[in-house]
Amino acid sequence: MPSPRSPLVRPFIALAMVTASTLAAIAQQPPTPTRVRGTVEKVDGDTLAVKSRSGEDVKLHMASNLVVLGLTKVALSDIKVGSFIGTTTVPGSDGVQKAVEVHVFPENMRGTGEGSRAWDLKPNSSMTNATVADSVVGNDGHTLLVKYKGGEKKVEVPPDTPVVTYVPGDKSELKAGARVIAFMKKLPDGSLETDRIGVGRDGLTPPM
């Protein structure tokens, strides 16, 4: 004999099935990137058009509190014990992390993003922002011991590794041909907004 509650139960079962399928569809959607690397194609008011390194056309709304930072080359020897740096690394065959790039933070940016996390520059790459605790100079570059809250990492920096530092930038540098890395977020209407952009100076491509 059918339960008298069946007519009431069925709508809830249907709702649960729809909810589950919706959640599954959301889970299958690729996450929205939080960074775009590429070349500025056009600036139209507060809209920045960027051709990404993968060839996509990306339009970014520049927030009213936009911060522009210039990136300039420095020497590997400029990295000292006590320097606060960021470095993109990939695992080497010997288990030691190999630097793909290093950026030296000026003193007023010390502590920015301290820690280590997955990064999207290369497959299996990570980003570590930390203080240099030890530096050993060898024929094959520098070997750095960097320490951050909760951990430390040994990093090998080959001589040909791009090394840059941040300098104050200006919105006027965002013009056609400029090479940038823009940090962005997705707004409720689906558009993308950026409040921080690094722009290479003298034709430099931001290496991070």
- pTM of the entire structure? 0.80
Q: Is residue 24 part of a domain?
A: no
pLDDT in tens, 86-97: 999 999 988 899
Q: Is residue 175 part of a domain?
A: yes
Q: Is residue 81 part of a domain?
A: yes
Count of the separate structural domains present in the chain: 1
Q: Is residue 11 part of a domain?
A: no
Phi/psi at 5 (5° precision): -90, -5
Cβ atoms < 10 Å from Cβ of 101: 19
How much is the CA Rg of the chain, to the nearest whole Å? 23
Q: Is residue 167 part of a domain?
A: yes
Q: Domain of 183?
A: 35-208
pLDDT in tens, 176-208: 999 999 999 999 999 999 999 999 999 999 999
Mean pLDDT for 78-85 is: 96
Q: Shortest CA distance to 158 belongs to which of 206, 98, 89?
A: 98
The per-residue pLDDT of the chain, averaged, comes to: 87
